[in-house]
């Protein structure tokens, strides 16, 4: 069987995170490394076809080589959707195929089927903006249609279709992808619909394992927790080579401390992932946060935040993570409710935050921004911007020192 890994696309909804979704590191390894390893362990020997971007093709190839996979990598020249990704690899596709996303966390196992196509559906308790499987009454495993984003209250079933699609004949899949056309990014879904209309045997299997999609940057926190929970040490803490932990520091698992990190005196790191080269200076608190490589802190609070990397914080700066009214955090620009009661800063690479500055819950800051000292940032900040606090006026006048209460206290000690 051929396993087609979709590692292309541009991740528009991931702003301000710029790293390709499949290459975001967890526990020191790119996400696609973890997923390829798991697929190999669960499904055994297979041929992998990885559809990458021109930019990540070489890195993806290196990862597949390290894992010792039998693989081919093709580049999808432009991010034109799932159908275009598969058509980019059409010359390699032959026989049975399984199509999966490179960044979705799934526990895939072999499922036997006599049908032409097998889809996997996850039962959900609330509306999810995805495709829903409508099955034929009386035939629980037969698919009647796929309804894309029907809107809350209009769902044909409680089964959301995952991207874990098996095709008995990969060439026929390509044939249908080339047969249909659409102005929208739904050619793949239209091809499945045409297969159903033409009488192909499209079946589904209920999936009850873990499913963690990576659609928005705050999903990084869910995936981080998944990997942290997999740490097998007694205290659920994994500290890599070259890391240093100084006196008075506390690391509360599950936690990952990457290579050459420093956890400074009296600091606490809780349920967090610190990638390589991070420095947690004196008396900092990092809680339930994803910290990319080469970040540095000093007397800071970082709560439920996603930091892509190379972030620097001045002393006393704080990343707030909780609304005072206890409501869930909403991303203001798009009105998206994250569903999280706690969410701090989401920052791209190279952000600098001055002393005593603070960011409000759910704020997003683009790469290479500077937040000046004392600023209280309540809004998103696009890339390469600087925001500073303007001091309108101040007075300087003569001053005669007098004995203070501290001086009086010292006198009483004599």
58 and 9, same structural domain?
yes
165 and 49, same structural domain?
yes
Residue 309: which residues within 8 A CB-CB, separation 6 or more? 275, 292, 293, 294, 295, 349, 350
- Residue-wise pLDDT tens digits, 147-202: 888 888 999 989 999 999 999 999 999 999 999 887 777 899 899 999 999 999 99
Structure tokens at 16: 């301000």
15 and 111, same structural domain?
yes
249 and 139, same structural domain?
no
179 and 49, same structural domain?
yes
175 and 53, same structural domain?
yes
**Looking at the domain assignment, is residue 398 inside a domain?**
no
CB 3 within 8 A of CB 96: no
247 and 202, same structural domain?
no
207 and 187, same structural domain?
yes
CB 73 within 8 A of CB 52: yes
User: For the chain, what is the radius of gyration of the CA atoms?
Assistant: 26
Whether the predicted pLDDT of 140 surpasses 80: no
108 and 204, same structural domain?
yes
Owning domain of residue 140: 2-212
**Looking at the domain assignment, is residue 401 inside a domain?**
no
Which of 190, 212, 234 is the C-terminal boundary of a domain? 212
Which of 186, 212, 238 is the C-terminal boundary of a domain? 212
For the chain, the farthest-separated pair of C-alpha atoms sits apart, in whole angstroms, at 98
* Number of domains forming the structure of the chain: 2
How far apart, in whole angstroms, are the C-alpha atoms of residue 363 and residue 366? 10
Structure tokens at 41: 């362990």
**Looking at the domain assignment, is residue 392 inside a domain?**
no
- Residue-wise pLDDT tens digits, 316-373: 999 999 999 989 999 877 778 999 999 999 999 999 999 999 999 999 999 999 999 9
CATH number at residue 341: 2.160.10.10
243 and 227, same structural domain?
yes
- Residue-wise pLDDT tens digits, 282-322: 999 999 999 999 999 999 999 999 999 999 999 999 999 99
Q: Virtual CA dihedral for 287, 291, 295, 296, nearest 10 degrees?
A: 10
**Looking at the domain assignment, is residue 234 inside a domain?**
yes
242 and 93, same structural domain?
no
Whether the predicted pLDDT of 87 surpasses 70: yes
- Residue-wise pLDDT tens digits, 190-245: 999 999 999 999 998 889 899 999 999 999 999 999 999 999 999 999 999 999 99
Residue that has been written with the tokens 């869910």 in this structure: 222
**Looking at the domain assignment, is residue 410 inside a domain?**
no
How far apart, in whole angstroms, are the C-alpha atoms of residue 391 and residue 331? 30
3-class SS of residue 412: helix
Whether the predicted pLDDT of 138 surpasses 60: no
**Looking at the domain assignment, is residue 359 inside a domain?**
yes
Residue 414: pLDDT band by 50, 70, 90 thresholds?
Answer: low
CATH number at residue 164: 3.90.550.10
Crossing angle of helices 170-179 and 187-197, in 10° steps, is 110
336 and 229, same structural domain?
yes
Residue that has been written with the tokens 């606090």 in this structure: 389
**Looking at the domain assignment, is residue 414 inside a domain?**
no
pLDDT mean across residues, the chain: 92
Q: How many CB atoms lie within 10 A of CB 142?
A: 15
pLDDT average, residue stretch 111-125: 88
């Amino acid at each position: 069987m051929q396993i087609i890994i979709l590692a292309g696309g541009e991740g528009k909804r991931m702003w301000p995170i710029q790293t390709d979704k499949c290459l975001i590191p967890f526990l020191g390894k790119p996400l696609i490394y973890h997923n390829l390893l798991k697929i190999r362990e669960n499904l055994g020997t297979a041929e992998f076809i990885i559809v990458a971007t021109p930019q990540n093709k070489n890195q993806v190839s290196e990862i597949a080589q390290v894992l010792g996979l039998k693989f081919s990598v093709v580049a999808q020249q432009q991010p034109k959707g799932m159908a275009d990704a598969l058509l980019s690899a059409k010359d390699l596709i032959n026989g049975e195929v399984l199509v999966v996303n490179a960044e979705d966390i799934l526990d895939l196992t072999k499922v036997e089927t006599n049908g032409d196509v097998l889809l996997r559906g996850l039962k959900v308790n609330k509306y999810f903006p995805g495709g829903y499987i409508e099955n034929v009454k009386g035939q629980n495993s037969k698919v009647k249609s796929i309804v894309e984003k029907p809107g809350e209250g209009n769902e044909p079933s409680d089964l959301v279709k995952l991207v874990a699609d098996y095709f008995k004949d990969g060439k026929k899949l390509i044939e249908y992808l080339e047969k249909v056309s659409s102005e929208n990014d739904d050619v793949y879904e239209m091809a499945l619909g045409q297969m159903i209309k033409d009488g192909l045997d499209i079946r589904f299997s209920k999936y009850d394992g873990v499913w963690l999609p990576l659609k928005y940057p705050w999903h990084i926190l869910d995936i981080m927790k998944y990997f942290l929970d997999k740490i097998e040490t007694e205290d659920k803490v994994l500290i890599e080579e070259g890391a240093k932990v100084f006196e008075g520091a506390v690391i509360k698992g599950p936690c990952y401390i990457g290579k050459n990190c420093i956890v400074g005196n009296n600091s606490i790191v809780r349920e967090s992932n610190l990638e390589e080269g991070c420095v947690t200076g004196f008396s900092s608190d990092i809680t339930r946060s994803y910290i990319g490589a080469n970040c540095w802190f000093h007397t800071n609070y970082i709560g439920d935040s996603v930091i892509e990397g190379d972030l620097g914080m001045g002393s006393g700066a704080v990343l707030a993570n909780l609304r005072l009214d206890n409501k869930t955090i909403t991303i203001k620009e798009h009105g998206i409710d994250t569903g999280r009661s706690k969410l701090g800063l989401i920052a791209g690479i190279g952000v600098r935050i001055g002393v005593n500055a603070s960011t409000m819950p759910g704020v997003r800051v683009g790469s290479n921004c500077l937040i000046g000292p004392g600023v209280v940032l309540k809004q998103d900040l696009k890339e390469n911007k600087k925001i500073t606090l303007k001091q309108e006026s101040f007075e300087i006048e003569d001053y005669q020192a007098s004995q203070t209460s501290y001086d009086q206290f010292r006198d009483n000690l004599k």
